Amino acid sequence: MAALTDAQRRFVLAHRVARLATAGADGRPHVIPVCYAFDGERFFFPIDEKPKRVGPARLKRVRNIQENPRVALVIDDYAEDWTQLRFILVQGVAEIVDGGATHVTALGLLRDRYPQYRAMRLEERPVVAISPRTVAAWGPVG
């Protein structure tokens, strides 16, 4: 498992949204924004109650992770002054977590970070845990 530097951790914790890239068995890419929490080792995001067209198990990101657990997560800053562009790219392995101690811990972190999650019944929904395998950073991160 790849560890983030202190500067990378600060950058990750200072941001609210990441972009998750998945690909199913067919190799077709799928990228979506996610709200996330980071416990110092793993990233977590819930399959929350925001309106969706299908149930949690039928979401493309969930199906892709079940078929191919290799994912990428990008956290970035854009600026018109391109000397200020920066990002962290985490490549890792995702796991669907549906209950147990990891699920409880992830929900606590997510609710601390996003007050909107406090009113949602997340206990009834899975959480995705991402274990970083490689971490790349570019620009003035930290």
Domain, as residue range, for 17? 6-138
Which 3 state secondary structure label does DSSP give 27? coil
Strand boundaries in 47-104, DSSP class E: 70-77, 86-97
> For residue 5, which amino acid is it?
T
Whether 86 is covered by a domain: the verdict is yes
Whether 46 is covered by a domain: the verdict is yes
Whether 1 is covered by a domain: the verdict is no
pLDDT at 67: 95
Whether 72 is covered by a domain: the verdict is yes
Whether 74 is covered by a domain: the verdict is yes
Alpha-carbon Rg for the chain in angstroms: 15
Whether 134 is covered by a domain: the verdict is yes
Number of structural domains (the chain) is: 1
CATH number for the domain spanning 85: value is 2.30.110.10
Which 3 state secondary structure label does DSSP give 40? coil
| Interval 63-79: pLDDT, tens | 999 999 999 999 999 99
pTM score: 0.92
* Burial (CB count within 10 angstroms: exposed 0-12, middle 13-18, buried 19+), residue 127: buried
| Interval 2-39: pLDDT, tens | 999 999 999 999 999 999 999 999 999 999 999 999 99
Q: Is the pLDDT of residue 88 over 80?
A: yes
Whether 102 is covered by a domain: the verdict is yes
Q: 32, 46, 52: which is closest to 116 by C-alpha?
A: 46
Contact, 4 vs 131, CB < 8 A? no
- What are the Cα distances from residue 113, in Å, to 6, 49, 57, 93? 19, 16, 25, 23
Whether 120 is covered by a domain: the verdict is yes
